[in-house]
Amino acid sequence: MIRAFPSSRVSVYSIPTPHGSEQAAGQESLRIRYCPSYQGRGLCQKYCFFKQMRLCFRRRWFLGILPTFSVTVTVIVLVLHYSFSPAFSFIYIGGSVEIPNLTYTNDLNDPKSQKFLSQAEAIQNYFAELYESSSWGKYYLKSVVAAFSEGECGLRAYYWSTFWAPQDMVTSLKKLPPAEQKEIGSKQATHIFNTSGEEDFDLVTMELFVSDSTEYDVMLKSAVSFDLYTKPGNNRTLTLMNPKKSFYQWRLRVPSNYVVRLVVITLHGVTPESCASHHLSAYDFLLPLQNKIITRWCGPGAWAPPVVRLTSSSNVMLLTFSLDRTEASSILKAHFQAIPKIMCGGHYISWNGTLSSPYYPSYYPPNIDCSWIIRAPLPGYKLSLKILIIQIQEKSPGASKCDKDWLEIDGVRYCKALSENNRNREYGYSVAINFHSDELVTHKGFYIEYKAFSHTDRCKPERLNCGDGKCKHQHKTCKDDDSCDEDSEENNCSYKSCSPYAYKCLNGKCLLKPNPECDGKRDCADGSDEMNCACGRHQLKKNRIVGGEDARSGKWPWQASLQMGVHGHICGASVISNRWLVSAAHCFLDSDSVRYSVPSGWRAYMGLHTLNEKSNRVAMRSIKRIIVHPQYDQSISDYDIALLEMETPVFFSELVQPICLPSTSRVFVYGTVCYVTGWGAIKENSQLAKTLQEARVRIINPSVCNKLYDDLITSRMLCAGNLNGGVDACQGDSGGPLACTGKGNRWYLAGIVSWGEGCARRNRPGVYTKVTALHDWIRQNTN
């Protein structure tokens, strides 16, 4: 398995000072690892998706207070320009850090509680020590933990650190465009954590913002704070009548798998003249950081609609109300609730329908990307789309295309209101729709209606024109008998064949809903879509001690190692039931000297973390039968799949669990983040890894991949990786899983490691056996 940096070490930069004095950090290096997927909600992994940074490190002295190895840090730098010293100025760095093995409790909601104070102090001391030994140490003043919330796998703390730095340094930082500020922030944090001598940490991305805001100052000196938490099903009310103070803040929190919905019902007394000092602002964070503003109201007409709904991208939101002290007649009434976090995007095959931005008509959350593919149910049909509403953040002045938030239909980006004649368009048989929101400022979003049509078809929509004057139900083919034609009740028909994109229930009914299986909703009348759902979940619990190497053991419990006597590990495989493993057909091709096709030579090891581990938690099974796909074609690696029946059933445990088999209709839209795991070579032509490796890869557009591989990609293959290279499966990973999450937080076996040109080369992604294409064959042979 190859990760993004084949050497697994990259150099770290330090912040350049205006005098050009680079710190000596260039020689130091750190190891970059991939965080697991976001989609495994509650699996302790989500923060990677939110472009935050995960640092896992070891600090012995830290253990006593915060017994942990793993910390997530988001750092945002805010530079405040103060005028009382000509030569020096304050710099604030704000962010959040996640401590996996601590639990959020109610008393941490109260900044005056004993628990809050001691926890905050531990973290503050920790930061002080980190900074003091770093190149920023000479400017460092202090760190303050301002709030806590429930994290993905523990406790999240929101902090800011203050620095007193030379004015010219501050000025030059402020001049940088936001993208570069971000870049510097991440390098700085990397540097800080690396200088602390910590080796084993995970880094994804970081955020940074430099601003002239004085909000920190206001907040620190005079904030009246309300710390609120609510569980799903309750509304918590926020009210403020005739405020006497000049700054109020409400820190809103919900459980970690939820997002905050804020409903502002009444807002009076926000006057036009005083936008700077008098406004209501909502932030997608627990600190008022300028690059986390979801929306702000001030000035005349700012308060047009009677009720506004906002949504956060994670489980916290901050609402601040800044007032002129003279303005005592203001009234604010709002409430907030916990709503489940939704996954946006998907693949729809439908005659007509609607599509909207996430949580529409609530404001969409910041920092989100969704992609949909809509397809007409039958070839020969086209799609027509009508944009009924579009209210999203407009592009920056002077920008040639939408650069902040956008709705993209068939490659064309939209970000402002459309005139009546530009709302309606016709597209081909299928259309790709993408929605992007940046970290700042959100609006109501968009609402689209679509329908499939054909210029030639005189049958009613949803009826198939058979050409002989007959119109049939769409699920039937023209050859089907006539007992169910146009006028008969569709409930009396039993559908003979589903379209390849439709999910087929056990009773034969077809569902047009995408990915209905194991999503927690009963979609088939017979409940068969929710029947085989004891799969695809690891047993790692929240708030367990996750530290050091062993913490990750158990994360991919379906991973098996196929070994052969003296040859040791040969291939990977995935547990799909207590008797069956899935692997790649090419693992069982005989060589001149070794008979790989004979079942008795093989042993399957399950629950392994390191390859030669001996523990009673590891399960070993002999193989009774190997079923290689009858159409396996070794010349082009088509149908590269094999089923292995174990001699005796394996017992599921914390370390051994089956992965879910995706049904034929399940779609893994390209761009989806998945994980490939295995003990394969850590670079081309090198040795096997000792410890199970995971690599974060994205599903690649099949037509792009087919071009890169000169038309070698069949419909039984799927490509995943990173087109820039650097991350991939490699020799020894074959047969192992490419796991992707879906609704219901389960991992699905999307692919089987099959082939690739070299490993991790640029424009040569990994090629996997596409499991959805072989689902029926697997089911037939294992049941």
Say whether 529 is catalytic.
no
Cα end-to-end span (Å), the chain = 32
Going from the C-alpha of 170 to that of each of 14, 22, 207, 212, 213, the distances in angstroms are 15, 16, 18, 10, 13
> Which pair of tokens denotes residue 201?
């940490």
Our CB check for ligand ARG shows the closer of 176 and 594 to be: 594
Please name the amino acid found at residue 631.
Answer: Q
Distance in Å, CB of 571 to ligand ARG, minimum: 6
From CA 312, how far away is CA 365, in angstroms rounded?
A: 5
**Strand pairing report for 463-465 and 445-453:** unpaired
Our CB check for ligand ARG shows the closer of 650 and 749 to be: 749
Our CB check for ligand ARG shows the closer of 445 and 725 to be: 725
User: One of 443, 569, 586, 629 is an active-site residue; which one?
Assistant: 586
Our CB check for ligand ARG shows the closer of 251 and 586 to be: 586
Going from the C-alpha of 663 to that of each of 85, 223, 531, 533, 657, the distances in angstroms are 66, 54, 12, 12, 19
Distance in Å, CB of 736 to ligand ARG, minimum: 8
User: One of 134, 246, 330, 734 is an active-site residue; which one?
Assistant: 734
Question: Are 431 and 366 spatial neighbours (Cβ–Cβ below 8 Å)?
Answer: no
Distance in Å, CB of 766 to ligand ARG, minimum: 3
- Residue nearest ligand ARG (C-beta atom): 756
Please name the amino acid found at residue 506.
Answer: L
Q: In the beta sheet, which residues pair with residue 322?
A: 247, 279
From CA 34, how far away is CA 198, in angstroms rounded?
A: 17
Identify the burial level of 453 via C-beta atoms within 10 angstroms of its C-beta, where 0-12 means exposed, 13-18 middle and 19 or more buried.
Answer: middle
Angle 410-414-416 from CA coordinates, rounded to 5°? 160
> Which pair of tokens denotes residue 332?
């604010």
Our CB check for ligand ARG shows the closer of 117 and 636 to be: 636
Distance in Å, CB of 596 to ligand ARG, minimum: 11
Distance in Å, CB of 732 to ligand ARG, minimum: 5
Our CB check for ligand ARG shows the closer of 452 and 729 to be: 729
Distance in Å, CB of 629 to ligand ARG, minimum: 16
Please list, in sequence order, all residues whose beta carbon lies within 8 angstroms of the beta carbon of residue 552, skipping any fewer than 6 positions away: 546, 609, 692, 694
Our CB check for ligand ARG shows the closer of 402 and 767 to be: 767
> Which pair of tokens denotes residue 257?
């798998």
Our CB check for ligand ARG shows the closer of 240 and 585 to be: 585
From CA 483, how far away is CA 496, in angstroms rounded?
A: 12
From CA 340, how far away is CA 259, in angstroms rounded?
A: 6
Our CB check for ligand ARG shows the closer of 100 and 756 to be: 756
Say whether 268 is catalytic.
no
Our CB check for ligand ARG shows the closer of 737 and 756 to be: 756
Distance in Å, CB of 575 to ligand ARG, minimum: 19
**Strand pairing report for 503-504 and 510-511:** antiparallel
Name the DSSP class of 137: G
Distance in Å, CB of 611 to ligand ARG, minimum: 14
Query: DSSP E strands: which ranges in 130-192?
Result: 140-150, 155-166
Instruction: Return residues touching ligand ARG (CB under 6 A).
Output: 680, 728-734, 753, 755-756, 759, 766
From CA 153, how far away is CA 189, in angstroms rounded?
A: 21
Distance in Å, CB of 584 to ligand ARG, minimum: 7
> Which pair of tokens denotes residue 651?
């017992």
Question: Are 390 and 407 spatial neighbours (Cβ–Cβ below 8 Å)?
Answer: yes
Neighbouring CB atoms inside 10 A of 654's CB total 14
Question: Are 535 and 657 spatial neighbours (Cβ–Cβ below 8 Å)?
Answer: yes
Distance in Å, CB of 757 to ligand ARG, minimum: 7
Say whether 384 is catalytic.
no
Query: DSSP E strands: which ranges in 182-315?
Result: 224-229, 236-241, 247-253, 258-268, 279-283, 293-297, 308-311
DSSP SS3 for 723: coil
Backbone angles phi, psi at 239, to 5 degrees: -135, 150
User: One of 640, 665, 728, 754 is an active-site residue; which one?
Assistant: 640
Name the DSSP class of 19: T
Query: Which positions are catalytic?
Result: 586, 640, 734
